[in-house]
Structure 1
Amino acid sequence: MRLADPITQPQFYRDVTTKRLIAWVIDTIIIALISLIIVPFTAFIALFFILGLMAVVGFIYRVITLATGSGTWGMRLMAIEIRDHSGARLDTSQAFLHTLGYTISWAITPLQLISIVLMATSNKGQGLTDNFIGTAAMNRKARA
């Protein structure tokens, strides 16, 4: 089994880039809320490091949700999931690598800009990390 061909099976990739953007917004809100829930347990010291806390919470959140359902909660809400080069759901190591690539892209702004351009222009809507490790976001309903 392989990833669907975007030319012969475009339904797998239709509107995925837009859905990924909306999912990212939803995930960012979820991560912010989780981080705010954690703050009181640090005697509010975490407020001084809120962006770092959000980065750690976001990393853990993404690895766990990608490993358990091949998509973050935002992606699941938008009916998309990340599949590996063979079309299978991500396992824990692939979820970790995908999240690591995503985090590195955010840490180095030009890489994130390249990733956004790739998502907007490639026929599978793959970002930089997706291209690197061979994953792609796909419509979940189309896979059924």
Structure 2
Amino acid sequence: MTDFRTATSTLLPPTPGLPDPDTQPGFYDDVPTKRLVAWAIDAVLIGLISVVLVPFTFFTAIFFFPVLFLTVGFVYRWATLARRSATPGMRVAAIDLRGPDGAPLDPGQAFLHTAGYTLSVTVFPLQLVSIGLMLATPRRQGLTDHVLGTAALNRAARS
């Protein structure tokens, strides 16, 4: 029986700038777990920023807090990915995102990645597909990563 990861690596076109998961697996080791840790850290930070902003809306944001949280999260993620190709949570987890050419994300790629991530978060079945892809594919890419050709890589493997 063929392993799903092996089958998908032969079906997907090679991404020239990203490390090959078969010859350089260290770049992708434990990336799904690290992404989960990064997500939790970022969610707490976004929540704290959102709570701090509530008084500046004369407390009306209490009535639309999920929208505020989503908006703050979008700006937070876009700004941090555009600047350093990693959110603060990703930096703590020692991973960052790389574009198809292996370079850090530029502001346009960061915007598209953030838009795809936000769509995945708001449409739950897409989030499940993304998690499944991270667990089952050789480069540990989520749905947005597959669409854009990006990947989260371990920083320690690049050092």
TM-score by length of 2: 0.89
Give the SS at the match of 1:131: helix
Structure 1: give runs of 5+ residues left out of the alignment.
none
The letter of the residue matching 2:52 is I
Give the CA deviation at 1:83: 0.2
Structure 2: give runs of 5+ residues left out of the alignment.
1-15
Alignment of 1:71-90 (within 5 A): 71-90=86-105
Q: Distance between the aligned counterparts of 1:62 and 1:115, measured in 2?
A: 17
The letter of the residue matching 2:125 is P
- Matching of residue 5 in structure 1 with residue 4 in structure 2: no
May I ask how many residue pairs the two structures share in their alignment?
Answer: 144
Give the SS at the match of 1:85: coil
RMSD: 0.8
2:31 is aligned, of 13, 16, 33, to 16
- Matching of residue 108 in structure 1 with residue 126 in structure 2: no
Q: Distance between the aligned counterparts of 1:46 and 1:7, measured in 2?
A: 48
TM-score by length of 1: 0.98
Identity value in percent: 57
Q: Runs ≥4 in structure 1, deviation > 3 angstroms?
A: none
The structure having more radius of gyration, on CA atoms, is 2
1:120 is aligned, of 121, 125, 135, to 135
- Matching of residue 32 in structure 1 with residue 42 in structure 2: no
The letter of the residue matching 1:113 is L
The letter of the residue matching 1:122 is T
Aligned match of 1:55: 70
